[in-house]
Structure formats: C-alpha cells, structure tokens
Structure 1
Amino acid sequence: MVLKKTRILIIDDDADVLTAMRLLLKPLVSEVVTEKNPSNINFQIESKKFDVIILDMNFNGLINTGNEGIFWLNKIKNSSPETSVILMTAFADIDLAIRGLKEGASDFLVKPWKNKKLIDIVTSLVKKEKTKKKATKSFASISQPIVGESDAMEDVFVKIKKVGPTDANVLILGENGTGKDLIARALHDNSHRKDKPFVKVDVGSLSSSLFESELFGYKKGAFTDAREDRKGRFEAANGGTLFLDEIGNISLGQQVRLLTVLQNRQVTPIGSNESIPVDIRLICATNVEPQVLADEKKFRKDLIYRINTVDITVPPLRDRDSDILLLAKYFVSIYEEKYNKGPFEFDASFIKKLKGHAFPGNVRELQYILERAVIMTDDNELTSEDLVFSTIEKSVQTTAPQTTNLDDLEKNTILKVLEKNKGNISQSAKELGITRAALYRRLDKYEL
C-alpha cells in the first residue's frame, strides 16, 4: 500500500537490468519508466514527477568513466532536488557510491542486488518522503512554502534571510498574484517573533468608518453597534507581526492616523481616553508602482520612511521562467491529493504552452489554471489542450518605444539590459550579442 502511488525511473544502459527491475517493481508501484540513455534524464523528469530514481553509476559514455553516476546525480538534483536517488554500483565502486551519498543520493544498491533489499530501500525512501510531506503540510497551514530557484527569487530569499531576524519595517512591492503575502509570512517565520501572532489586514478594502475601529479597536458604547469592547488589529498583533496589505490604496486621512500610531507606538480605541502601548513588527505590501508612492499628493513621504526601512520587490512570473515548471509540478501535486487523481505527467506540448504564456496574473493565475486542468482532465497525461488561460487577466504587452531614432533606441536598449543584469558588463554584452569591448565603446558614446 505504501508504494501504490509511487513512480520510479530506472536509468541503466543494460537492457537486462532494466527488464529485471521493471518486472520486480511494476506490480508494487503506480508506474516504472526505464531509460537506457542518461542524456534523456532532463526530458524524463520534466515530463513526469518521479518519487524515486534508480541510477547506474557507469555508462558507456565519455564523461569521466567511473564518475558518470556522480555527474548525472548532480543533473538530477539540480532539476528535481526533492526526488530520492538510489545509486547502483558494483563492489569496486563502493567508495564512489559513498561520495554519491555526500553529493545528495539517498541510498545505494550493490550489483547483483537482492530483490528484497531493493524493495526495502524503495519502501523506506517513500515512507520517509511521505512523513516529510506530512510535516510540511502541518507547517504549510501556518506558512505556505515559497517555491522558486530562479536568480530573481534568489535575491528575494537573500533579503528574507538577512531582514527576517531583525525588527526592521519592510515594504513588499509587486504585482497582484506574485505572492507578497507569502513573503510577509516568511519574514515573520524567520524572526524572533515567530511564536507570537501574525495578523494580516487588507487595509485597502477598509472604508474610512471601519479603518480606525478595525485597526485600533473600540470600547463598548462608542457607537450604535458597539455592544462590547473589541481589540483592534494592532493590539491583536502585540508582540508579533502586523501585516498591512494593499497599503498603497489608503487615503491621506487614513495615512495620518496610521502615522500617529507608528510614531507613538500606542493606540487609542474609539470611545476611550486611554492609550494602549503596542509592540509590533510592521510589514506592508502594495501593488502600486514606486513612483506613485513617491507622489506626495497621493502618499505621505513621512509615512513612506516609517514603513520602508527595507523594501523587497517580488518579481512577476514572466521574469521567473525557470520557476514555471517547478511551480507547475508543485501545484499539480497538491491537486492530485486534493481531488484524489493522478499521478500526472506533462507531455511536451503542455510544457511548451506553459512556458510560452506571459502569465499576467502571475503565480495566482498559474495555480488556478492548473487546478482547472487537474479537475477537467480524464487522463493522467496533461497536454496543451488541458491548459485554458483566463480571459479575466489582461495580457502583458510591451510598450512600444516613443522614438524611432536609432541612437535613442540603442541607448534605451543598453540601459534596459544593464538594469536587468544589475550592471554586469559581461552578461549584458552577451545578451546584446556584442563583445565587452563593443559595449564599453557604446557606453562611452552615450556617456552612460
């Protein structure tokens, strides 16, 4: 029963080994895929999610004979770090197998193997992974994991690691659907306040009449419907973290009231003359562009300084190409369990269509279309036909340049590429298709 939904990939250039293992494991698991050519590993793990991969350590290839297993192990762990890998080795390769364990393999199997030993290893790894997933799920009810390996997300993770343990106020910027609330929660979970309350308020949706009562609380009889005392969100978050979402949408009047509380670190409930001290770590988020926040007619500069000790910009999904497939596998695995379907594999057309979409709705849009795909499909292979993109989201369109002057076009292009690559000359030159020397000449030409 433990192995019932397990999918296994076996990679070995010996057809007899593949046949023997397949015959042994097929009756026990959901699916066994065999592969003779290790060069096809990336294709296999992109198109299907495997629980266990059994990998031979020696192939008839040209890659450092005797170390092929380590080479392909690293390829697997880079593409699918959560997958358990069992290395197959001859007696003479034991030292190499031990090295493989240090490189990330889960176990190793000596040839010729004993059938019971192989089944025991696979069962143990699957049980271990299920236990780990259960632990993750119980944690996910508190804080959903952030999935991503792209350079853009790596910058976010570095900031969370550095800023999380501090009490610095943080402003999270990013488009709708990028996961700003997950970043806020991660900051809280990485702080010394993690065992204290995490209170979220969508301040952008609060009317003027509700703003003060919701944030600062009220006393019984303060107004018609105030039948009992009620703590505001500041008090509720005391000792922990207060997350004010969509703060860019609050009025100037609301900004003044919020600024007063942040300066004094105390709240006065409606209907009371007594102030209550509060100790909170403040995190705010908005989808409003930074230049709008800089406009004093729309947002007070003194409040910006209060809430923005550190800012974290969450990148849109279109800037996280390498994360799309990773996120897709993550969401599909969630919906496999939720709807008791699958396990699913992705065919080439599915992957191509997924990677070719701009995702104006970001991660939220990806999540919803994958849930729909899992619900609607009758097969265990997801194809391009299963991907139906939302008509609600507006397509992301690149703004056409206002100038047709060639020098201006070249200058603007160079500036955009340099900004994208954070001033890295080598990387920018490569992206522009010119040499470093040529790029330096153009920088000098345009006085950049």
Structure 2
Amino acid sequence: MGLLPLNYRPPAYVEKSGPIASQGSLHDDRASSKSLRTGLSASSGGIPAALSFDRIIEGTTCPPCTLRDFMNYLIYVEHSAENLQFFLWYRDYVRRFANAKTPDISLAPEWTQAMEDEAVMRIKKEQAEKARRPPQGAAEIFKGTDFEKGADTTRESVTVTVTSNILTTNTSSNRSQASQAFASAGLKAPFTIQPFRRELDRVIATYIMDGAPRQLNLTDQEQKTVLHALSFTTHPSVLRSIANGVEATLRQQAHPNFIRWSIRNGNPPRITFAAGLGAAVVLFGVVAALVLTLSSAGRGYRALAAIAWVVGFTIWMAAYKGMCVVLHGRHHRHIRPWDLFASDSDDDGNGHDDGNGHDDGHHDDDSIRAAKSAFDSFGSGNSYEDEPWVVGYRKRNILRKIFDREVWIEEPALRQIQDTIFVQSVLLAVVCAGVLTGVFVAVPAGRFF
C-alpha cells in the first residue's frame, strides 16, 4: 500500500465534552458531517478513509480495528460503551420501524422539531417556576404522600424500587420503571397499544432513566424532553436529538481515540521497556563517543557512535508514539488483556494448557459470552471487574507482560500508518545522530590515553 505522507500525524486525543445530546448540533453541520464520515476532519485528522467510522460500523475493517474491537475499547478503556450500544440499537430500530407494515403504525405519529421546541420551553418554564418557589418544610413536602405514613412504608417503597431496577429484562418491570420515569417528569404513562411500546419501555429502563444500567450522559432537561416525546409517540423521531448527540460523540471523540489507541502495537510495560532500551542505547553511544574523543583515536572513529544513536533514537521515538520496533518488524501486536486469557489461562488456575498455548475452552466460552453481552442492546451494565482476566492479568509478572503473546496485524491501513511512523522515527533518528556526530567529530581530541 505504500506510505502515508511523511508529515503524517496520528489523530490527537479528544477529551470528553459533557452531555451527549448537546453534541447534536455538531452533527448537523454538513461540512463537518461530511469530513467526519470520511474520517479526515480538523478534529480527527490522521485517520485514513479505510478506517473511517462508517467502515468500522459496516464491518469492512480487519482486526484490530473491527466493530468488536471498537466495542471492547469503549468497555475496557474509555468506559462509554453505552453510546455505541444505543447507536447500534437506534439504527436498527429506525430500519425496523420503517419496514413495519402493521396497522398500529398510524398510532405513532412523528415527533416534530416544533413539538420538541415546545416541550423544551415548557420544561424551562416549570424549572424557572420551581426555582422561584419558596422553600417548604419537610412536613409540607411529604404531606399527603406515603412518606407521611411512617418509615416502614418508606422502606417498602425503596425495596420495591431497588427490586424493579434489578429486573430490567422483565417486561412488567420495564413497564413499571418506565411509568416511574414518566411520573418523575410529571407525565402520565402513555398508551400501551402503540407499536414498539414495550421495546421503548426497555430503552427507558436501560438508557434513559436515573440509575439505568447503561444510563446515557443526559442533562435533567434533556432527559425530561425525551420523556415528554416518549409519552406521546414511539416514532423514531422521539430519540432524534439523543441519537444525533450519541453519533456525534462516537464520530468526533470515541472514534479518533480508538484509532490512536489501536496504533499502539504493545502493552504499556512493553512500550515503557522499549523507551528505556532506546534511551540506554543512545546513552551508550554518548559514552562511546566521549571515550573516543578523550582518547588519541582518530576523529573518524567517533562517527561509529552514530550507529548506536540511529538505533537508539529510532527505538525511543517509535516508543514515544506507542510502537515497539521489534513487534513492528514482524507486523505483530500484543494480544489485548481481555482476549489474552481466552487462549492463555495459566495464571487464573481455572483452565488447563494443552501444551500449544490453548486452554480447555472455558475461557473461550467466557470471551464469547462477554462479546455477545456487549452487543445485546438490553443487557446489564458494562462493568467488567468480575471478568476472569482482570485478576489473572493483575497477577501476571512484569516480564510476562513485556513478552506477552503476539498476533498478526490484519488491517492493511493500520500497518500503513505504523510503517509511516517507523520511517518518520528513522529519519528523525538520522537527523539527531547527524547533529551529535558533527558535534563530537568537531571537538579536538583529548589525547588523555
């Protein structure tokens, strides 16, 4: 495939920037949207078209840049997998709603922008009136409610709420939680005869309401606005603002960070080791040049230190950009920790190595179950602290981490990026070595020995 331009720079790290729905306006800009779809924008430059967001979502990329790799990154590194899970569900929901031919579709009219603007104004007005309202005493606040009847009722209510929050996969529980969410927003529960109403109840219980297992990062106003819309209809347009915000966040923040992270071909201990090795080789070259300069050896011998400087600076500069040149020489990368124990379970004591680097299959099953759970639109939360690899990898000694299992990098575009970074490192190393060589060759000989 050749190399990218020598002035290529990997995508810059993009910080998270607040609630997702506020990102929707960014996605509406046509020029910005077009550049983001190609993967080449001012905010996420350095991403080839072959690794664009759309290519990853469509499943046309190879490891380690597949949709599964993207999901794992969001779960284990960025801790925001709910955005991709919601995005994939919503895209499928729009398709299924458009293809539905049942008569009850007419019961779910479109939620227009004018209706949303009206709901926002109503919510802002209610919030303003609530802020102007004088503070009430505790007795007045709870008067006429179940809290006035005693602590036992309060404890019972809390128990029911906690129980219903746990049973998110049960239809009646989803309906109950959705009703609670509508009530908290001052809304009446909608009619259940609308199409896909049960599914949207699950969406509320999984992504929208407070305490949901995959709660999206919404402000109070954004949450109430979408609940207003959901109390009116089940048309996909009710989630338009949230979906646009989620997609903008994925395109502008998560995707560039994922590509930046994927360029790293070694785990942190290996990259640290490589950087230290590069610095040591450079230091060795400096010491050798000093010895030759202080001796009576000819000036030409001092230039031999350039060999160490070129090698050392290449290793160090590549490590600075997250690459180990030894792994790159074979176009290999380290297996990710969460995938490592699917084939290597020596450290956790539950699997049995067969002598060829594979266990008895128990962790393959765990890995498959974890992958399926991640792509389940209405699964549990994205916590991974109880997964077997966490403890096993923590117990792994530092030498095993440095020399962990390797695998071939299948994605050609990623190899092209890494080849370019390697060439850049070599060229910069040659320049640095040339400068140091010129300095040491120009210094008069010490002739101390």
The TM-score, its normalising length taken from structure 2, stands at: 0.24
Q: Which has the higher helix share?
A: 2
The TM-score, its normalising length taken from structure 1, stands at: 0.24
Kindly indicate whether structure 1 or structure 2 has the higher relative contact order, using CA contacts under 8 Å at least 6 residues apart.
Answer: 2
Larger Rg: 2
Q: Which has the higher strand share?
A: 1
